[in-house]
């Protein structure tokens, strides 16, 4: 069985970079832990894409451990698209047009 194709929306990449920078400005160790949490979430999504609960607009959402962020993604037969690295306190669904 081949691994599903994984794609990132450009705005999702920008969100992840912005959040990592924010943490790095405050504490580089926490920034490293944030990146590790994102990596772990992506690995979990690749291993079992349908495991995370359904969310808004046909997406699924996996919450990061220790951080107020979720990985919002869509699963299709062809690929997994990471739509957003959404801050959990930001307006829900702001990424819906992606």
Q: What is the pLDDT along the chain (98 residues), one digit of tens a residue?
A: 566 799 999 999 999 999 999 999 999 999 999 999 999 999 999 999 999 999 989 999 999 999 999 999 999 999 999 999 999 988 878 888 89
> Is the residue at 13 inside a domain?
yes
Q: Are 8 and 80 in contact (CB under 8 A)?
A: no
Residue 20 has a pLDDT of: 98
Residue 68 has a pLDDT of: 96
> Is the residue at 24 inside a domain?
yes
> Is the residue at 92 inside a domain?
no
> Is the residue at 30 inside a domain?
yes
Residue 96 has a pLDDT of: 86
Q: What share of the chain is helix, strand, coil (3-state, %, to 5)?
A: 40, 25, 35
Residues in the chain: 98
> pTM to 2 decimals?
0.90
Domain carrying residue 45: 5-87
CA–CA distance, 27 with 22 (Å, rounded to integer): 9
Residue 39 has a pLDDT of: 97
Counted domains in the chain:
1
> Is the residue at 63 inside a domain?
yes
Query: Domain with 22 in it: what CATH number?
Result: 3.30.2310.20
Residue 1 has a pLDDT of: 55
> Is the residue at 44 inside a domain?
yes
């Amino acid at each position: 069985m081949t691994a599903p194709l994984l794609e990132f929306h450009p705005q999702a990449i920008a969100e992840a970079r912005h959040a990592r920078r924010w943490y790095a400005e405050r504490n580089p160790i926490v920034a490293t832990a944030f990146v590790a949490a994102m990596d772990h979430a992506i690995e979990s999504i690749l291993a079992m894409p349908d495991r995370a609960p359904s969310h808004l607009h046909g997406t699924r959402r996996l919450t990061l451990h220790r951080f107020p962020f979720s990985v919002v993604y869509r699963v299709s037969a062809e690929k997994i698209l990471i739509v957003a690295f959404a801050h959990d306190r930001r307006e829900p669904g702001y990424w819906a047009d992606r």
